[in-house]
Amino acid sequence: MNRLFITLIKLFIVSFLPAQSSEIDRVAIKKDFDQLLFNISEQYVYLENKNVDLDCIKSYYGDQIKKLKTEEETVLFFEYILNEFYDSHIILNTNRNSSFRLFSPIYASLINGKAIVTNVWQTQIEKLNQNIIGAEVLKINEINVNTSIKNFPSQCNDKHAQGVREWILNKVLAGRYNEPRILTLKLITGEIVQFDLDHLKIKKESTLVHSSIQDDIGIIRINNSLGNNELIEVIDNTLDTLMNTKGLIIDLRNTVDGGNSYVARGIMSRFIKEPKPYQRHFTIEKYGDNPEVERSWVEYVSPRKEQYTKPLVILVGRWTGSMGEGLAIGFECMERGHIVGTEMERLAGGMSGFDFSNRNYGYRLSTVKLFHVDGTPREEYVPGNYVEQTTIAKDEVLNRGVGMIEKLLEY
């Protein structure tokens, strides 16, 4: 038997052998799984607020480890565990093609058991010609809404609870990266239409901010850049050109990725004459087997450079996230700005990063609760100057903001 024939026989046999278990180190996965659950139980500050059975997670997901065959399945395994807590702020620091996106360009609320489109990302969607505000979502990829929620891959939370169901609904609307998002909508006119979310074109901003002047009112729109430390200088320069305007609007409706408090404090510091409180913090400290000790404090902003003293309005919406939420509320806490818009992303808490011992990625957990200085949890804050979105034909939030500046100038 010649050597070439023997080689071909070996290749044929190898091609039909099952994948070797050594490709996935299940022992390492189990160690990372145990560490994740430990960190959630010890560090996740909102755990007591969540109706999630940790014993269920330990049992169900522990049993899934032996079924994992690929690296992508392993990523999804950890992603799904975090999704059990219906908290968009706690995420893996990686994703794969079959992962769920973090958000959708539309938001649906559960109203009387129906999924109603209550918000669209109007500032960032290009050429949305069809008014889908108020439309009922009947199906997602030809699957009815209730079934879509039921089929969402979480096992240990209560899918009958309103808050859990609405979170899952919007996660399903965000969809997986490698799957379509075709909605069957019943418009307020009664017409039933197919609406492809992936046909929406989202604006890609090339600058950290965009500024303009409308009727002698300055408008600064921050383009999802609150995590860029260079933004402070850009805001300084922009604000310096608007010092003589009669009022100012800061638009935070495109801060979906949040940012950091250094940048937020740098912005707020241009609008006050003396140190002001902008945020309350709460956490629990525990070291080893020693007792838990609560810790809380109020963070202040100090003035910096020339102050803008004219009326100020802050615009917010469903795509104002994390530090964007903190910045908006901070202006109100300092009694320096009026907040106009809708609910924000409701991303709870201050984040800490954690590493897996056996993966090249990690995850984030909320380790500090954050509050308005009046004690309102940040994630429950609703603007006093609430604007219900009813149309895409005009920018109702911006129009209310301009009107508020005019009203403030009358006094």
Contact 72, 24 (CB under 8 A): no
Residue whose entry in the numeric block shows the structure tokens 């957990």: 365
Domains within the chain, CATH numbers bracketed:
106-202 (2.30.42.10), 209-344+381-409 (3.90.226.10)
> Which pLDDT score, from 0 to 100, does residue 366 have?
97
- Smallest CA-to-CA distance from 173 within 139, 205, 200 is with 139
Contact 231, 222 (CB under 8 A): yes
Q: What is the DSSP string of 335-387?
A: T--EEEES------SEEEEEE-SSSS-EEEEEEEEEE-TTS-BGGG---SEE-
Q: What is the pLDDT along the chain (411 residues), one digit of tens a residue?
A: 444 333 334 434 334 433 333 478 999 999 999 999 999 999 999 999 999 999 999 999 999 999 999 999 999 999 999 999 999 999 999 999 999 999 999 999 999 999 999 999 999 999 888 899 999 999 999 999 999 999 999 999 999 999 999 999 999 999 999 999 999 999 999 999 999 999 999 999 999 999 999 999 999 999 999 999 999 999 999 999 999 999 999 999 999 999 999 999 999 999 999 999 999 999 998 888 899 899 999 999 999 999 999 999 999 999 999 999 999 999 999 999 999 999 999 999 999 999 999 999 999 999 999 999 999 999 999 999 999 999 999 999 999 999 999 999 987
For the entire predicted model, the pTM comes to 0.91
Contact 182, 143 (CB under 8 A): no
For residue 210, what are its two tokens?
A: 């965009």
Contact 315, 251 (CB under 8 A): yes
Residue whose entry in the numeric block shows the structure tokens 């706690």: 90
> Which pLDDT score, from 0 to 100, does residue 3 have?
40
Contact 277, 332 (CB under 8 A): no
- Smallest CA-to-CA distance from 221 within 403, 410, 397 is with 397
DSSP three-state, residue 185: strand
> Which pLDDT score, from 0 to 100, does residue 264 have?
98
Cα dihedral angle (130, 136, 137, 142), rounded to 10 degrees? -90
Which residues are bridge partners to 184 per DSSP?
Answer: 139, 194
For residue 276, what are its two tokens?
A: 């002001």
